Structure 1
Amino acid sequence: MPTTRADLHVKVLDEAVVERAKAAGVDVLVYAPHFTRLPDVRERADRFSDDELLVVPGREVFTGSYRDRRHLLAIGLEDPVPDFVTLSGALSAFDEQDAAVLAPHPTFLNVSLSAGDLSRYREQIDAVETYNPKLLSHHCKRARSIANAHDIPAFASTYAHLPRTIGEVWTEFDTDIESEADLVAALRDGVERRTYHHHGVRHRTRSFTEKLHLAYENSWEKVDRLFLSGTEPTHPRHIAYDGRFDDVSVY
């Protein structure tokens, strides 16, 4: 039976990342950096894809306000969708493009879909993340319980913000995935898959380092200074969106 090993959510992409992914036997990476417009994400993904490693562009969209945000990971978008729009507005935009919609780190802090959100939007969510190195064991247990309760397929990812985390976590699909369209189909069709991660001191150390990075990543001062002016590339009122999201913008 053909299988494909995928890391469905990474934030970093360079030569070192590609080398580590290949050495770990990863076939597919989903590259979804924060606050970066889709055309730029796609250009970089294309640049690092080759016959050994498929890099697929993704968008982790921040819905709601920064203080009460819900993250959604969309794969298969053709048209850009900005951050800081309503949750329903983002889901509608994804649905119009037949994108696969994933729920990263559910119920984690104030940055994730709640159990109630997943119940309400069950038909629009294609997979729930049940493991990444930033999560604690009780977060993973709760995510698995929610996925099982709503019969939503699971996935795992490195959620890597640091290159050394690449290769530590993966999802193995029971199908060949050779293109972005193949990955979207596998996710939307609920293709059988299994999730894996390494264990031991090295994995715990890399997980701890990713957790340290999380503290800086979620600094309000950082985002307030860099993003909420309205001029950043994924702000909903940026000129690039031509007013298309004004009715669902929260800023």
Structure 2
Amino acid sequence: MSDSEGFRVDMHVKVLDETVVERAKAAGLDALVYAPHFVRLPEIRERAAAFSDDELLVIPGRELFTGSWHARKHLLAVGLDEPVPDFITLEGAMSELQRQDAVVLAPHPGFLNVSLTGADLAAYGDRIHGVEAYNPKLLARAGRRARRIVEEGRWPPFGSSYAHLRSSVGEVWTRFERRVERPEDLVDALREGVPRTVGRRTGVRHQLRCLAEFAHLGYENSWSKIDRLFLQGTEPTHPRHIAYEGRFDDVAVY
């Protein structure tokens, strides 16, 4: 998985600041998809716009946590018109994303308890626009499983740094055979299945960054963290938060 030309997008980063922008430009990226955890869409859009310039386009996205914390399945949505909360049912999330005509991507397929399974992909195949073939958290066996899922299902692939750490930005990219000038252009490219390839860095430094990202899972998946920060009902992406005006109460799992 290597390439040197075309429009290169890191399809999923969690961090965004001046250092991230500098690293992305130095890595030869043209765009980032910024999709932090537990942040509402208006704030993501505002921050993405603030860090975009003529050299780097930052595109807002949302990684949704569907289902319960212990059996959650992640979706990466691009092209949302309205905010969608976390911890609603998978079917509820899929229906809402379809209503908004958003692009739906499956990050890290089959990974631990946080991903769509092969059965999920088969069930919702007509609503899914791409499946992740690689990110640094997918070490060895998990990485092979993701590539196998993509290849056997003939899914349009994508890759990302899935960067929770600044040092991971630009380690992986998706090269599209079409330029992307606006966020809407990426939505169209994904929806239309524009040809793309997944590229990544190699070598010892890349492997060390992969290990660092994987180690970060220990904190990211801490039940005490999520219980303290989210399940009290005040988190901005909690489905019963006042901002959603009760629209998701019937599909909320908390």
CA distance in 2, matches of 1:149, 1:134: 21
CA distance in 2, matches of 1:87, 1:187: 21
Instruction: Name which of 64, 82, 87 aligns with 2:85.
Output: 82
8 Å CA contact 1:122, 1:150 repeated in 2: no
- The 5 A counterparts of 1:157-196 are 157-196=160-199
CA distance in 1, matches of 2:166, 2:151: 31
Q: In structure 1, what residue type is equivalent to 2:108? A: H
**TM norm structure 2:** 0.97
**Residue of structure 2 equivalent to 1:236:** 239
Q: Secondary structure at the match of 1:46?
A: helix
Aligned-residue offset at 1:223: 0.2
Tell me how many residue pairs correspond in the alignment: 250
CA distance in 2, matches of 1:227, 1:31: 21
**TM norm structure 1:** 0.98
Q: Secondary structure at the match of 2:216?
A: helix
Aligned-residue offset at 1:3: 2.5
Instruction: List alignment gaps of at least 5 residues for structure 2.
Output: none
Instruction: Name which of 135, 139, 145 aligns with 1:136.
Output: 139
Aligned-residue offset at 1:150: 2.2
Q: Deviations over 1:152-198 (max 9, x none)?
A: 10111000001111111101000011111100011111110000111
Q: Deviations over 1:18-41 (max 9, x none)?
A: 001011110010000000000001
Q: Is residue 11 of structure 2 the alignment partner of residue 8 of structure 1?
A: yes
CA RMSD of aligned residues (A): 0.9
Moved over 4 A (4+): none
**Residue of structure 2 equivalent to 1:208:** 211
Q: In structure 2, what residue type is equivalent to 1:233? A: P
Q: Secondary structure at the match of 1:34?
A: coil
Aligned-residue offset at 1:148: 2.2
CA distance in 1, matches of 2:126, 2:72: 21
Q: Deviations over 1:30-75 (max 9, x none)?
A: 0000000000010000000011100000000000000000000000
Q: Is residue 155 of structure 2 the alignment partner of residue 152 of structure 1?
A: yes
